[in-house]
């Protein structure tokens, strides 16, 4: 699988990274429902076997469980894989994440992540959300100290706007931004926004949810959504509720599926390929809960969309926007 250099770092990431959010399992506020650890490990191995060279996880994904699973999966293979994780969200008794970016908290999270991942160094360490915003500088300075100690190879942030990126950059260069980005979530493209800032400051972009948390896979139906367990966080989002749900399904079926059929793939692979078009981003983070899903989505790395296909997608997006009003 082809690679791209991550901003000002020395990391070369494959254009698709394995996203470990869902494998954090159930029992916390943003879970995807029950998840079998054995299937999670098989999914990670499938990603590596299909050329993926990096994994993105976070302490908050199951409050350590995702990191533990990743650590087990990489036993004997750690030197061949780049590992990214995140800090800034701590557990609360009700399962809701609690934001904390004090130097003490960041250091404790880092040490915990190193232990759970069974590694001596984290390749990419990121602030998960810019909250509490007043602690951004304190957290970034502590991450810088850990870099100087050799515990972190490169440092980045997630979900930051351009102004917040600039605040961190004044202390130490930002190697990457991890924003949500898909054909249905394009806010980072706005003038003066995060994408423009990253391109101007040689910071890489590793986009999460290129299939909008499954919406663009081509497998979502009204019946499927209704059947999801109550602890699947997606059921609480507007894109999985009416009228958005029906409009989104129509977009997938009438815009993405015809293009997917031409390539002999599923709509989700077209969604990922669209995210990777040109050189706008470094890598797309694609989640996988079993071997089959991973083997399917890995094929997106080899798809190049024609201008005709890109134009058809833009037309479909305009039609969708008109329906949403």
How far apart (Å, rounded) are the C-alpha atoms in residues 55 and 124? 10
Give how far Cα 145 sits from Cα of 44, 99, 141, 150, 267, Å. Answer: 31, 21, 6, 9, 43
How far apart (Å, rounded) are the C-alpha atoms in residues 299 and 90? 35
Q: How much is the CA Rg of the chain, to the nearest whole Å?
A: 19
b (16+ CB within 10 A) / e for 126-152: bbbbbbeeebbebbbebbbebbeeebb
* Cis amide leading into 243 (omega within 30): yes
Q: Which residue has the tokens 């989505």?
A: 297
Residue 40: φ, ψ to 5°? -60, -45
Active-site choice (61, 125, 181, 240): 61
Q: Which two tokens stand for residue 110?
A: 């880092």
Give the CA angle between residues 90, 96, 101 to the nearest 5°. 30
How far apart (Å, rounded) are the C-alpha atoms in residues 297 and 116? 27
- 61: annotated active-site residue: yes
Q: Which residue has the tokens 């399917």?
A: 296
Q: Which residue has the tokens 């991973």?
A: 294
Q: Which residue has the tokens 């990777």?
A: 276
Q: Which residues are catalytic?
A: 61
């Amino acid at each position: 699988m082809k690679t791209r250099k991550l901003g000002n770092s020395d990391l070369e990431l494959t254009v698709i990274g394995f996203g470990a959010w869902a494998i954090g399992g159930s029992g916390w506020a943003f879970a995807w429902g029950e998840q079998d650890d054995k299937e999670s490990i098989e999914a990670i191995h499938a990603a590596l076997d299909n050329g993926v060279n990096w994994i993105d996880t976070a302490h908050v994904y199951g409050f350590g469980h995702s990191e533990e699973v990743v650590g087990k999966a990489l036993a004997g293979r750690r030197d061949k894989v780049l590992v990214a994780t995140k800090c800034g969200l701590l557990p609360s008794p009700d399962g809701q994440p609690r934001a904390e970016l004090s130097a003490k908290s960041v250091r404790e999270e880092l040490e915990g992540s190193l232990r759970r991942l069974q590694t001596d160094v984290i390749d990419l360490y990121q602030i998960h959300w810019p909250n509490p915003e007043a602690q951004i500088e304190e957290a970034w300075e502590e991450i810088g100290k850990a870099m100087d100690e050799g515990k972190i190879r490169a440092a980045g942030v997630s979900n930051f706007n351009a102004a917040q990126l600039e605040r961190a950059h004044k202390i130490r260069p930002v190697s990457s931004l991890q924003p949500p980005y898909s054909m249905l979530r394009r806010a980072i493209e706005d003038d003066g926004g995060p994408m423009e800032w990253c391109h101007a400051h040689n910071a890489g972009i590793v986009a999460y949810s290129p299939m909008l948390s499954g919406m663009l896979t081509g497998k979502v139906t009204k019946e499927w959504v209704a059947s999801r367990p109550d602890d699947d966080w997606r059921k609480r989002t507007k894109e999985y509720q009416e009228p958005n749900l029906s409009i989104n399904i129509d977009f997938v079926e009438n815009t993405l599926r015809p293009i997917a059929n031409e390539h002999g793939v599923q709509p989700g692979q077209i969604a990922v390929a669209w995210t990777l078009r040109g050189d706008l981003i470094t890598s797309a983070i694609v989640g996988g809960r079993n071997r089959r899903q991973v083997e399917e989505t890995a094929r997106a790395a080899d798809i190049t969309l024609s201008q005709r296909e890109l134009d058809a997608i833009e037309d479909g997006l305009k039609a969708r926007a008109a329906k949403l009003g």
